A and B are shown apart, each in its own frame.
Chain A
Amino acid sequence: MDNELDISELLALRDGEPYDINKVGSEDQAAQMQTLQKLAALKADLNDLSNIHVDACVWMRAEQNTQATNTQATKAVDWRRYPFATAASVFVVSAMVIFTLFGSEDASFNTPARIAAHTQIEPTAIRTAALMTQSRHLEQAFAGGFSPQSGRLESPTSSHAQSVVVAILAYRVADVDDQIARLYEGENVDPELRRELWQKRVELLEAYLGELATANPDVLINSRSM
């Protein structure tokens, strides 16, 4: 057996790598050549296995993930500039407003995201993807009426109280963003928790939108319909 090429050496011979030439053909040459041919044929067969079709939703998910990451990165920079001390100091003043906003069972606050949460029509991943898209649309709607850096309404009609509410909401959105980012840092992302966070984000953004619309209906009259 010592004078026969083993599989490893036959593979080297097949692939044009160095091998012990003294062993070639020294024993049962026909058998070795047959094995060599089989090894080459197996390699060819492996290469003939076709590539595999990928569902289109995989790209959609990849794209949404990158958008979420970009949004998070942008916000991380923006909110670092945000004066947290000011936000904390106005928190007490605004607590009642926030409570009213989120404690209400008003039917008008049944956002699509909330409705989606109570209906088990779609799997979690799809609902999360929908929430991500909704979140992106809402952010686009804010682009013209709100400056995240300043944390203030651009509208000249906005009152100080409204500015405070918006500041608090902005703080909460940033906090949710931080939670989402931390979620992705872990190895196992809990899909239900991820969906809940994105839902929370959408709700906060919609509340945000509501404040903007109240302050200046002209600015966001079209974007609310999204």
Chain B
Amino acid sequence: MSMSGFSKLALPAAVARGVMVGDRNAIAEAYKVLAPAVMGLAARILQDHSLAEEVVQDTFIELVEKWSQIRTIEAIPGWVRRVAVNHCLMRLRSPWYSRRSSADAEAVIESAQDEVSLDWVAQVPSLERALGSLGEATRAVIWLHDVEGYTHKEIGEFMGRTSSYSKSQLARGYEKLLAWQIRQETGNVDKTTVAKKRARTYKNRCAPTGTQVGE
């Protein structure tokens, strides 16, 4: 059973009723409740704070403009989540995201050579860091399946792939997370290694040809 960031959230009845009639004040209140969950989802999938903020913004613009598509009060969080997921995946597919990733890769590679700049590593929870080191598609599948509770079939549809693709990405991701966990347990890791490996991962991911995003 998934403990999705969204499923734990509930809009106050008056707010939900307001959203269903497009009341701007109600949508502003709904934003306060739902935006952190949208931000959490987007930040984990995109691994980019400013892009995640863009997703939050675009998601709520869509709520303001298309609230009439929501059929029931109970469907509001799910509708918002689906819109947010679509915005995330759209960004993962965009050439603009690839260009940003390349720039990020250069920055990470440089930071890996600078011990002082590794401070950021210590500030991020370990699992968060491990998730971020996975390929885009892999971490998106892990988050959508295990945290947001989507089925493999739904994830396949989101990504224009099959449910088998989603299953294989999930398995691939957990293989890496398990390996990471073993290294954590045995203490066979240091910050420099983590940063350099992360940099290599970014660099491989940004390779122009023959790169599988799930890697």
> Which chain A residues have a beta carbon within 8 Å of chain B's beta carbons?
6-8, 11, 35, 38-39, 42-47, 49-55, 58-59, 61-63, 65-66, 69, 187-188
Q: Report chain B residues within 8 Å CB of A62.
A: 31, 56-58, 60-61, 64
Please name all residues of chain B whose beta carbon is closer than 8 Å to the beta carbon of A6 when the two chains form the complex: 171
Residues of A with C-beta under 8 A to B171: 6-8, 11
| Alpha-carbon separation in the docked complex, A172 to B158 (Å) | 43
> Which of B52, B57, B96 makes the CB contact (< 8 A) with A188?
B96
Main secondary structure of the interface of A (DSSP, over half): helix
Determine the chain B residues whose CB is within 8 A of the CB of A65 once the complex forms.
57, 61
List the A side residues contacting B53 at CB < 8 Å.
Answer: 54-55, 58
Which residues of chain B in 87-130 are interfacial with respect to chain A, using CB atoms and an 8 Å cutoff? Answer: 94, 96, 125, 127-128
Main secondary structure on chain B at its contact with chain A? helix
Cα-based distance from A217 to B24 in the complex (angstroms): 34
B146 & A59 in contact (Cβ 8 Å cutoff)? no
Q: At the interface, yes or no: B35 with Cβ under 8 Å from chain A?
A: yes
Q: Are B147 and A54 in contact (CB under 8 A)?
A: no
Q: How far is the CA of A59 from the CA of B32 in the complex (A)?
A: 9
How long is the Cα–Cα vector from A66 to B3 in the complex, in angstroms?
Answer: 32
Q: Count B interface residues, CB 8 Å.
A: 43
- Pick from B35, B40, B96, B181: contact of A42, CB under 8 Å: B181
- Taking CB atoms, residues of chain A closer than 8 Å to B28 are 59, 63
In Å, the complex CA distance between A69 and B56 comes to 17
Given contacts A46-B146, A49-B127, A66-B64, 4 further A-B contacts (CB under 8 A): A49-B128, A54-B35, A55-B53, A58-B57
Report the bound CA distance from A43 to B131 in whole Å: 12
Chain B residue with the shortest CB-CB distance to A16: B1
Asked if residues A52 and B40 are in contact (CB atoms below 8 Å), the reply is: yes
User: Which of A42, A44, A50, A65 has the most chain B CB atoms closer than 10 A to its own CB?
Assistant: A42
